[in-house]
Amino acid sequence: MTLFLRDVTFYDWRTERLLRGDLLVDNSPHGSLRATADPPPAGATVIEGGGRLAMEGLTCGHHHLYSALARGMPAPARAPRNFAEILAGVWWRLDRCLDLEMVRASALAAAVDCLRCGVTRVIDHHVSPNAIAGSLPAIAAALEEVGLSHVLCYELSDRDGPAAAAAGLDETAAYLASGRPGLVGLHASFTVGDELLAAAVALAAKHRVGLHLHVAEDIVDQERCLADHGRRVVEHLAEHGVLEQRGSLLVHCLHLSPDERELVRRSGAWVVHNPESNQNNGVGALHWDGLDPARVLIGTDGLHGDMLRSMRAAFLSGQAQGGLAPALAWQALWTNQRYLERHHPAAARRNDVVLFDYLPPTPLQENNVSAHAMFGFDARHVRTVIAGGRVVLEDGRLTGLDEAAVMQFCQEQARRLWEALDQPAPKGRP
């Protein structure tokens, strides 16, 4: 059924124009969204906008849905003192305990969080080394239940031994062969050996997709790459053909030399900026110099699902580095969607709409939307969300599922997960 949004102020990110009037949302799978001067067609569902701000659904450029059940989890016995210890003591300790039910719960919890923030499309980076087979379809199903479109990948790594690496390749190959939008995921160069890296690039080439990996998130990535391979991370990745794969996502890119920046800029690869995660881990800040700003996406790195918050953090982090125009952070937020349209059209739904309950105290104009985004409207104003042409959040309530029941299920899985932490691994498990 067609949806008709009456009387909205629609921000069109493609033209950077504000359109005041009515919108028609076609809810077919690859449906469209367009302004109309006609009355609602017969049978259309009419939503009253009351002049309020509307825009396309937002996209998360880099998520780790699997981390959703980590919130408040028991701390490691010894507090991590650096990035390597954060990985080993928090994330790898957690991901080894995930089973498919916990994976599903994580995806549901994170998807609801996204939706409530107006985020309707997610690029995810998943890992669960003891529950690999079937993990990507399980995540896809959970996201679709909530209403999100997605680009998924499995994080390949040698850190859990050859069986886990082989199973990760199998899961990736099966998922890409199914025709769903995906990428070939890798953890980071310092946990991926040459053989696995070559296999990952070959798989990406076969399916004509990009790779999705953490790059120079911490200086340790550069130090180990220099020690192991005698060259810097981006040079190492370039020699293996990672940058040649169209649509590759290089996540973080904090510790790059000028030559590496040049390599990234000249390639077709995209950079994903995760400002809050960088601050949370104390790994440094992104320097935009030498990068192509039109190929910088923004992600949450699994901290949460709120892209407006991450976009503000990108702006503030840029300001702290000496200055970043609000318009540049605002543009990066929409680069996420431009990336999807170019490389994963099946996930780039154009009939996703967010309606904000935002009554601006100052004029909202075409030349100051980014300032309102930085200092005015945010996730608390998200009132109604249309995803794939159907209303999934209506006046703040999820329409397709019982949120309290879903969160109860997530709590049960979180308890199971937390109990499994620090238990001796069953035989056969790393």
CA atoms in the 13 A half-sphere facing the CB of 348: 12
For residue 339, the minimal CB distance to Zn ion (Å) is 16
How many angstroms separate the CA atoms of 185 and 136, rounded? 12
For residue 63, the minimal CB distance to Zn ion (Å) is 8
Alpha helical stretches, state H, 321-377: 326-343, 369-375
Closer to Zn ion by CB, 285 or 407: give it.
Answer: 285
Identity of the residue numbered 239: E
Closer to Zn ion by CB, 109 or 393: give it.
Answer: 109
Tell which residue, 348, 362, 388, has the closest CA to residue 61. 348
How many angstroms separate the CA atoms of 80 and 218, rounded? 14
Piece of the chain touching Zn ion by CB under 5 A; list 10-18, 155-163, 190-198, 301-309: 301-309
Closer to Zn ion by CB, 281 or 413: give it.
Answer: 281
Piece of the chain touching Zn ion by CB under 5 A; list 142-150, 177-185, 299-307, 401-409: 299-307
Residues contacting 355, CB < 8 A, separation 6+: 5, 8, 47, 49, 52, 53, 54, 382, 383, 384, 385, 386
For residue 115, the minimal CB distance to Zn ion (Å) is 21
For residue 299, the minimal CB distance to Zn ion (Å) is 7
Give residues 214-253 in contact with Zn ion (rule: CB under 5 A): none
For residue 301, the minimal CB distance to Zn ion (Å) is 4
For residue 67, the minimal CB distance to Zn ion (Å) is 9
For residue 62, the minimal CB distance to Zn ion (Å) is 6
CA dihedral angle for residue 138, residue 139, residue 143, residue 144, rounded to 10 degrees: -40
How many angstroms separate the CA atoms of 64 and 123, rounded? 9
C-alpha dist (Å) from residue 251 to 52, 63, 86, 215, 307: 35, 11, 17, 6, 16
Strand-pair partners of 297: 272
Piece of the chain touching Zn ion by CB under 5 A; list 115-123, 297-305, 346-354, 395-403: 297-305
φ, ψ (nearest 5 deg) of residue 238: -65, -40
For residue 65, the minimal CB distance to Zn ion (Å) is 11
DSSP per position, 82-132: SHHHHIIIIIHHHHTT--HHHHHHHHHHHHHHHHHTTEEEEEE-B--TTS-
How many angstroms separate the CA atoms of 329 and 346, rounded? 25
Closer to Zn ion by CB, 95 or 301: give it.
Answer: 301
Closer to Zn ion by CB, 214 or 312: give it.
Answer: 214
Piece of the chain touching Zn ion by CB under 5 A; list 2-10, 178-186, 218-226, 295-303: 295-303
252 to 291: interface string for Zn ion, x by CB under 5 A: ----------------------------------------
Piece of the chain touching Zn ion by CB under 5 A; list 38-46, 140-148, 261-269, 296-304: 296-304
- What Rg, from alpha-carbon coordinates, does the chain have? 21
Which residue has the closest beta carbon to Zn ion? 301
For residue 353, the minimal CB distance to Zn ion (Å) is 28
Closer to Zn ion by CB, 221 or 301: give it.
Answer: 301
How many angstroms separate the CA atoms of 281 and 123, rounded? 21
Which two three-digit tokens encode residue 402? Answer: 């019982």
Closer to Zn ion by CB, 280 or 321: give it.
Answer: 280
* Interface pick for Zn ion out of 158, 171, 301, 352 (rule CB under 5 A): 301
Closer to Zn ion by CB, 64 or 312: give it.
Answer: 64
Closer to Zn ion by CB, 25 or 98: give it.
Answer: 98
For residue 125, the minimal CB distance to Zn ion (Å) is 5
Piece of the chain touching Zn ion by CB under 5 A; list 192-200, 294-302, 306-314, 363-371: 294-302
Closer to Zn ion by CB, 112 or 249: give it.
Answer: 249
How many angstroms separate the CA atoms of 82 and 281, rounded? 8
Interaction site with Zn ion (CB under 5 A): 301
